[in-house]
Structure 1
Amino acid sequence: MRLFLIPISTRRALIYARPLRRDAAKELSLLDRTTSKAAETWAKWEEAESGWKKHLVTWGNRVQQRIPFEEWGLKSIPSLKAQQRIDENHGSKQIDVLFPGNSVRVENIPNILRKIATERQEFHQKKMWWSLGIAPFTAPFALIPVIPNIPFFYLAYRGWSHWRALNGSRHLQFLVEKNLLNPTSLPELEQLYAKRASRVLEDTPIDTPSSELVDDIEQSDDRILLKMSDAKKLASILDAPELALEAERAIVQVTEHLETQKRKEKEAQAEEKKKP
């Protein structure tokens, strides 16, 4: 397993784990195989031109886009037990964490990952039990012919999603606490972030030394670093095609958050000026 730490803005980052090897598919748990089968079914439904399948997929995709990118990132990390089934030495050797060294200080990596691992654990645990606890009460919807029990499947999916994120967060916390992380700055990532930082930050030329660029990023207010087109570039650089979608989702969500924050600040300033 290999981890990627991708700064989305000057204050927020995406954690992502390279998916399990295809040749390890036989080691997947029953739940993982069931999930994979469900994904295949969903993909087939996406091909429907009309009908309830099309409407369900459209609604479902909107729901998935609203799920925080932090949750998707943690879900990409397999549980500790799942990884140990594939690699019996996992837990006794270090795991590479690839990141841009000109945007994140290497000495800050453990604290950043510890925060990512722990800050949402309680939330995911509560939401997991809530979703799974409410799901049985949707049983009456199953009496409707033809159309599947959408409320049940939604709650079951959200319960599974929170469970997966919770396991991923605990695995990441384990790696941090056992000092099993090997932060490695990737030159290709540094080149990309040097270009983006020079565009976003004033008085920061593209050839700014790494140590100075990190200072500029840390001293700036929260600003988006990546463009949507960078998602596929990241996936190519890191040889992780699935990363493109997760990076795009993170860029959209962080951008919307910053725009909302900026709008609220302007409204607050306007209200302040109105006061006598």
Structure 2
Amino acid sequence: MSLLPKSRLPMRIIALPLTTVVRDPKHQSDTPRPLVYYHFQTPPPPADRKVGWVDWATGKATQAWASFGKAPEMNWKYKVYRYGERLVDRIDFEELALKGVDPSLGPHISQLRRSTQDAKKEAEKGIVIPFVHPKSLSPSPLSHLRAILEKRTPRHKKGFWVWLLVSPLTAPFMLIPIIPNLPFFFCVWRSWSHYRAYKASEYLQSLLDNGAIVPKSSSDLDDIYVKHTPRFESDASESHDTKEESAEAKSMEVDEKILLRRDAVPPILKMFGLPETAAADIYRAIEQADVRLKQGIYT
């Protein structure tokens, strides 16, 4: 069961809350917000799209990395691949999601800067981007997305420059024979990843500013959360007076809980018609959210 046919969707955003509201003790002034995984679904590139040098280089790098994963287990390439995958698992899931957004495949901002009447006509053609979310992300899902983008845009801009400036420092590793300069390639890749996430953040902020992203709550998604949300433990024998005295403490405890279990991922993929490759991203986000709550890391 897919919520909306892919053929009607030039772009779609799916919000999956991972936790209940969390409070960052280091930033008491910040509004408590849940950790949310955003899946940005864009259409495939057109068949007649010209392949630029960036796409060519990215494709070659992807193929080379995949070949490392197919090497024999005792080979150094396979060991590098396994270690690299563990490093990817430690990268913020927000960055990994953003860097997968290709603004060239979404609606151009110039298409959205029109009169109200023209905008209505464009909406009928499917220009408006559905922002599907469960009701648990209410009352203002757009404000949550905007807050995340405002926080991550400068972070990725800084990360792009830091990793780019660090990459020349890896030049001495080029003197090592046989094995390629892996530190250099890693620095370049991290810089490229931050750059993609930075440009995607700016693009999504522009879509928000132009009112192109329209929230749409999903009762079907709510049903999945009801069926697959971990149950919070409570003491049924606790007296009413004790409950009142510890209300604030229990509120804090309940506020920092995981909302989504791994077994909810297959139904979500089926519901939205997502590819199997999307499962790995959601699993990674769930695991990171759990680690952040246990370690007190909320950003």
Whether 1:222 and 2:256 are equivalent positions in the alignment is yes
Q: Shift of the alpha carbon at 1:68?
A: 0.6
Q: 2:67 aligns with which of 44, 48, 54?
A: 44
Write the mapping of 1:171-250 to structure 2, written as runs, cut at 5 A: 171-197=203-229, 199-200=231-232, 220-241=254-275, 242-250=277-285
Secondary structure (helix, strand or coil) at the match of 2:228 reads helix
Q: 2:295 aligns with which of 232, 236, 260?
A: 260
Whether 1:104 and 2:109 are equivalent positions in the alignment is no
Query: 1:32-59 deviations in whole A, cap 9, x for unaligned?
Result: 3422332222112101112221121011
In 2 relative to 1, CA 261–27 (structure 1 residues): closer, same or farther, beyond 3 Å? same
Q: 2:149 aligns with which of 101, 105, 117?
A: 117
8 Å CA contact retained: 1:29, 1:82: no
Q: Shift of the alpha carbon at 1:185?
A: 2.0
Distance 2:252 2:105 in 1: 36
Q: Which deviates the most, 108-117 or 194-203? A: 194-203
In 2 relative to 1, CA 25–256 (structure 1 residues): closer, same or farther, beyond 3 Å? farther
Identity %: 31
Structure 2, gaps ≥5 residues long: 1-10, 21-33, 114-118, 120-126, 236-250
Q: 2:169 aligns with which of 98, 119, 137?
A: 137
Partner of 1:210: none
8 Å CA contact retained: 2:131, 2:216: yes
Partner of 2:17: 7
Q: Shift of the alpha carbon at 1:249?
A: 0.6
8 Å CA contact retained: 2:42, 2:105: no
Partner of 1:31: 54
**TM-score of the superposition, structure 2-length normalised?**
0.73
Would you tell me which structure has more helix in proportion to its own residues? 1
Structure 1, gaps ≥5 residues long: 204-216, 263-276
Query: 1:158-202 deviations in whole A, cap 9, x for unaligned?
Result: 000100110111111111111111111233211101223473487
Distance 2:54 2:157 in 1: 18
Distance 1:219 1:185 in 2: 27
8 Å CA contact retained: 1:113, 1:172: no
Query: 1:4-47 deviations in whole A, cap 9, x for unaligned?
Result: 11111111101121144154582564323422332222112101
What code does the residue aligned with 2:265 have? A
Partner of 2:245: none
**How many equivalent residue pairs?**
245
- The alignment's C-alpha RMSD in Å is 2.8
**TM-score of the superposition, structure 1-length normalised?**
0.79
Partner of 1:58: 82
